[in-house]
Amino acid sequence: MGNDEEMLSGAPTEDASTSKTDVVTLMPSVGDTVATEHPHKCQAIALIKPEYIVPERQRELNLSYVSKAVKAKLKKQNDNADQPPCKKIKGQNKARPHHQKADKSTKLCFKFLRGNCPYENCLYSHDIDKYIATKEPDIGDTCYLFEKYGRCRYGMTCRFSGHHLKQGRNITDKNVFTGSEDEPETNLLTKELQAKLWKKHYDFVKTKHPLERINSKEYLKYKNETADDSEKVKLRLEERKKIDFKGKLYLAPLTTVGNLPFRRICKELGADITCGEMAMATKLLQGQMSEWALLRRHASEDIFGVQLCGGHADVMARCALLLEEQCSVDFIDINMGCPIDLIYKKGAGSGLMNRTNKVNEIVFAMTEASNIPVTLKMRAAVQEDRNIAHKIIEDLKPWAKRISLFTVHGRSREQRYTKSANWTYIGECVRQAHPQIPLFGSGDVLSYEDYERNSCTYKVDGILLARGALIKPWLFTEIKEQRHWDISSSERFELLKKYTNYGLDHWGSDTEGVERTRRFLLEWLSFLYRYIPVGLLEVLPQKINDRPPSYRGRNELETLMASASCADWVRISEMLLGPVRDDFNFLPKHKANAYD
């Protein structure tokens, strides 16, 4: 969870096999089998109508979706007859391969295509004939970018180029084209800004005095409003832009899956507030393009925040100033919840919960350097059964004019998702924060009843939707309309089609953009399959931690969408983005999803 979800990606060190046919037959372990009779007495089992329940079957491990380490272990067991039978593989794939960019020499130079490449030693190809001879076939007849904008900016590199290439020329539909070839996105990293950051020529002088006050401990006077210029400070803080968070539907920052195309889907389905994926403050200051990509904002995101992760006041203050001067951001969220070991050990993420003095310094420095509202997102605790969020809130309350919102996820760092979120404790945090600072809760909301019950019972000012939004993004609609939406498989497929179109718009319709869109689609499908259609449930609503017995849908597509098999997710992606390439490589987060 850089945020409400655990990190979905690890260091790119392991590969999955590209074979699509190898399987290992394993008997299900005891915990895998659920009786086909109606499981009324089973805890944590979703109650499916009997006519949709199907017998459990022996599951097969598809070696295309396991890591090299698992393959080696299985081979060792199979080679040794004295070894006990293979058990079902469990746990997470910690080191998953990232999308590998193609060699630049195999990609056409866009500047050359547009008429003039100023680089004498350009790393990209200028050989159009060679590119056309080796280009992969189109994957569809209709280019979304050409239909929407009247011109496709990817020209002959587009994987739908047959729609807009006539006699080798990229045509323009003058009835549609308005001068822009893409959706308006802001917060782009320009080459000029990147060069300043690389050479450390960016002017951060505004952060000098706040950091000096922190070093001298003078900043503590501002916490208690006893500094000589407190009236001046109070006046400036009163003039700071304010956001009315209360009662708004907030899509939590979600690492990997909370990308811009997904946020667009959620905005259309009713989300009021969106926040970008967790960004590392140090990497933003270094001008890393991949980190700046996490700050991109779509025009539809009317209340948009950026979540920063860092453990030091100087870095966070400079980053806040940089965002104010260079980006369009409504609020900055300080990440105090990320459980990843590497971040935690550096004192950032959930590590900040043990360093409240540092949190005080960060809040002061950021709010002195920038006028962007600041929010804090934390967990209930670091260690299980040792809740400390209420103590942190009590310590930070004197900064009420500088902190716009607290959000508390009702789980500890150690606990992750092994138990239900502790909403009773979130209610205690609300009482500690009120009335000075509003507080949002987070955890286990998958229906409008969950939302209403937690809102009314625990008096939170609002709720962040995280896993619930990933499993069923139409949850925003259900909450606003106070109903259960028995969404059909065809309607869900249309959402996936819209997502892929938004992905092609955002990441590109060339081969690299298509494969990047596919990868993020597969990450999302690893959550979407957990949704159980309303019409199949005997008892409403579905609970987020309940798992169903094996069941079939009301049609073939609904059954396919319910599959926990990574191979079936790939099949869905092929229905939208064409066949996977020969070198296709995707390793699911959970090892259990490698079973067919």
Pairwise CA distance, residues 533 & 574, whole Å: 23
What pLDDT, on a 0 to 100 scale, did the predictor assign at position 592? Answer: 52
Asked if residue 231 is part of any domain, the answer here is: yes
- Total number of domains constituting the chain: 2
What pLDDT, on a 0 to 100 scale, did the predictor assign at position 570? Answer: 94
More confident residue, 462 or 222: 462
Task: Label residue 583 left, alpha or beta by phi (over 0 means left) and psi (-120 to 50 means alpha).
Answer: alpha
What pLDDT, on a 0 to 100 scale, did the predictor assign at position 12? Answer: 36
Q: What percent of the chain has pLDDT over 90?
A: 67
What pLDDT, on a 0 to 100 scale, did the predictor assign at position 34? Answer: 36
Residue 409, token pair as written in the block: 């996820």
The yes-or-no verdict on residue 27 having pLDDT over 50 is no
pLDDT of 272-287, one tens digit each? 999 999 999 999 999 9
Distance spanning both ends of the chain, measured CA to CA: 27
User: Are 534 and 472 in the same domain?
Assistant: no
The yes-or-no verdict on residue 233 having pLDDT over 80 is no
User: Are 357 and 424 in the same domain?
Assistant: yes
Asked if residue 152 is part of any domain, the answer here is: no
φ, ψ of residue 507 to 5 degrees: the values are -100, -15
Mean pLDDT of 491-509: 97
Pairwise CA distance, residues 327 & 189, whole Å: 9
Mean pLDDT of 472-487: 98
The yes-or-no verdict on residue 33 having pLDDT over 50 is no
Assign 57 a pLDDT band (cuts: 50, 70, 90).
confident
The yes-or-no verdict on residue 7 having pLDDT over 60 is no
pLDDT of 156-194, one tens digit each? 999 999 999 998 889 999 999 988 877 789 999 999 999
User: Are 540 and 440 in the same domain?
Assistant: no
Give yes or no: 266 in active site. Answer: no
Assign 21 a pLDDT band (cuts: 50, 70, 90).
very low
Mean pLDDT of 79-96: 60
User: Are 456 and 307 in the same domain?
Assistant: yes
Domain holding 237: CATH number? 3.20.20.70
Asked if residue 160 is part of any domain, the answer here is: no
Residue 344, token pair as written in the block: 């935690």
Asked if residue 204 is part of any domain, the answer here is: yes
The yes-or-no verdict on residue 24 having pLDDT over 70 is no
More confident residue, 117 or 554: 554
Asked if residue 186 is part of any domain, the answer here is: no
pLDDT of 91-112, one tens digit each? 565 665 666 677 777 788 877 7
Q: Which amino acid type is present at position 76?
A: K
What pLDDT, on a 0 to 100 scale, did the predictor assign at position 23? Answer: 37
Contacts of 161 (CB under 8 A, 6+ apart): 138, 143, 152, 154, 155, 170
User: Are 462 and 533 in the same domain?
Assistant: no
- With b meaning 16 or more CB within 10 Å and e meaning fewer, what string describes 403-420? bbbbbbbbbbbebeeeee
Instruction: Please state, in angstroms and as integers, the Cα–Cα distance from residue 457 to each residue in 434, 443, 503, following that order.
Output: 15, 14, 39
Residue 239 burial (CB count, 10 A): 9
User: Are 424 and 275 in the same domain?
Assistant: yes
Asked if residue 49 is part of any domain, the answer here is: yes
The yes-or-no verdict on residue 532 having pLDDT over 90 is yes
Task: Label residue 250 left, alpha or beta by phi (over 0 means left) and psi (-120 to 50 means alpha).
Answer: beta
The yes-or-no verdict on residue 14 having pLDDT over 50 is no
On the 0-12 / 13-18 / 19+ scale of CB atoms within 10 A, 242 is exposed
> 28 lies in which domain range?
23-100+525-594
Residue where a domain stops, chosen among 458, 485, 512? 485
Catalytic residue among 338, 429, 456, 566: 338
